[in-house]
Amino acid sequence: MSAISVQNLSKSFRIKKQTPGFSGTLKSFFKPDWQDVTALDNISFSIERGERVAFIGPNGAGKSTTIKILSGILNPSQGEVNVAGLTPWEERQRLSYEIGTVFGQRSQLWYHLPARDSFTLLASAYGLDKDTYASRLSQLTDAFDIADLLDKPVRQMSLGQRMRCEVVASFLHKPAILFLDEPTVGLDVSAKSVIRDLVYETSIEDGTTILLTSHDTGDMERVCDRVILIDEGQIVIDAPVSKLRSSYISRKIITLHMSVSDISFEMQGVEIAEKAPHKMVLNVDTSQQNVSTVIEKALSLASMRDISIEDPPMEDVLRSIYKNGQG
């Protein structure tokens, strides 16, 4: 049986349209003009137990609406959904024991209290007995390396430290399914990497099914095996990450911070995207050129103060998908 099964799911919202100006305000007060907006349009997919799936798409694509329906917060307009054998909006409290959530821009920790107090609170909310809670906390404390943070007030933690505690809070009751919504938003490169690795390792160990939404292709590549790409409420692509990477993410962005003010750089498969004194941004087509070869050549031309390698933004990936006629 699938961990998550979604069939012909649709959700539309009714929003009030208002024309600008005083007359528009008056008209809207006496005779409001309503408009139906479709957030999800007849989508179907299923996720097996233990599978790690990235749910990606541009802003307003319907990602968060889907997660909110799957976690029982929103009712759909039509369709059937089964999460851990339950209908989310009808059995929200029972479902809550089976799911965990990490929303990158929200916190479930008490701001002025040590993280341990929030963990104790959540353990009692999820009905964990003392021994189970103690062993689970000790296991997660080791895995996430938060022993030094347990008794530190959350307000004194860095964002990276706080996110590690947030993820621990979500894993505490050992959920069968974990929803991650932008879990690395706002984090620096090393903190992102730590969170991704920890989520990946813990989900393997616990057999947790992961559904992750993110604008960061790195989250998707490092944590998930499969990608569902959604746009304007419809599924555009449902494929393994490896296929998406080889088909669409064939570019890397290399930023060079040079000690000299300018260098002349020419190489097949490399475009200069931006040039400024002491700085050059290169757009590398990895199907034609290896990233390490590009860096070697840059180092042979001048010494570097800093080099960074990034994936192209999700918008570029989407553009690439549309250009290839899949949209």
Partner 1 sequence: MVRDNPQKMKSDYLKKLYVLYVFAKTSFDDHMGHRLRLFFRFVMCVFFMFVFIEFWRLIARENFIDLPFPVDDVCWYACLTQMMLFLSPRLFISIDQDVRSGDISYLLIRPISYIAMRVSEGIGAMSANALLYYTAGIACVGFYIGGLPSTGWVGLGTALFFLYLGSILHLMYQAISGITALWLQQAEAFYRIYQKILIVLGGLYMPIPLYPDWLYTLSKFTPVYVMMYGPAQFVLGWDNGESSAEILGLLLFWFAVTIFLLGWFYRACVSRLEVNGG
The secondary structure of residue 106, as a DSSP letter, is -
Measured in whole angstroms, the distance separating CA 100 from the mean position of its chain's CA atoms is 14
- Annotate each residue in 70-99 with x if it binds partner 1 (CB under 8 A) or - if it does not, as one string: -xxxxx----------------xx-xxx-x
CA atoms of 300 and 253, how far apart (whole Å): 19
Round to whole Å and give the CA distance between 21 and 18: 9
Interface segment toward partner 1; rule CB under 8 A; list 41-49, 111-119, 237-245, 251-259: 111-119
- With contacts defined by CB under 8 A, how many residues of the chain interact with partner 1? 34
Please choose, out of 24-32, 43-51, 103-111, 244-252, the segment that lies near partner 1 by the rule CB under 8 A. 103-111
Alpha-carbon span 211 to 221, nearest angstrom: 13
DSSP code of residue 155: G
- The number of C-alpha atoms within 13 Å of 320 and in the hemisphere containing its C-beta is 16
127 touches partner 1 by CB under 8 A = yes
Query: Toward partner 1, which CB reaches closer, 9 or 258?
Result: 9
Q: Name which position in 45, 55, 103, 248 contacts partner 1 (CB under 8 A).
A: 103
By C-beta, is 92 or 319 nearer to partner 1? Answer: 92
Which position among 5, 12, 126, 269 is part of the footprint of partner 1 (CB under 8 A)?
126
User: What amino acid is encoded at 2 in this protein?
Assistant: S
Interface mask toward partner 1 for 38-77; x: CB under 8 A: --------------------------x---x--xxxxx--
| Binding of partner 1 by 113 (CB under 8 A) | yes
Per-residue x/- marks for partner 1, 161-190, CB under 8 A?
A: --------------------xx--------
Residue 39 or 228: which CB sits closer to partner 1?
Answer: 39
Please report which residue ranges of the chain form alpha helices under DSSP H: 22-30, 63-70, 92-96, 115-125, 130-144, 159-171, 189-206, 217-223, 241-248, 291-301, 314-323
Q: Smallest distance, Å, CB 9 to partner 1? A: 17
304 binds partner 1 per the rule CB under 8 A = no
- The least CB distance from residue 169 to partner 1, in Å, is 10
Please tell me the distance from the alpha carbon of residue 173 to that of residue 120, in angstroms, as a whole number: 11
Question: By the 8 A CB rule, do 126 and 97 touch?
Answer: yes
Q: For partner 1, which is the closer residue by CB, 51 or 166? A: 166
Cβ atoms of 5 and 46 within 8 Å: the answer is yes
Name which position in 42, 46, 77, 108 contacts partner 1 (CB under 8 A). Answer: 108
Contact assessment for residue 226 and residue 53, using Cβ atoms and an 8 Å cutoff? yes
In the DSSP assignment, the letter for residue 114 is: B
- Of 31 and 112, the one with the shorter C-beta distance to partner 1 is 112
Q: Strands across the sheet with 226-231, in order?
A: 99-103, 177-181, 209-213, 52-56, 226-231, 234-240
Contacts to partner 1 by CB under 8 A: 13, 64, 68, 71-75, 92-93, 95-97, 99, 101, 103, 105-106, 108, 110-113, 117-118, 120-121, 124-127, 153, 181-182
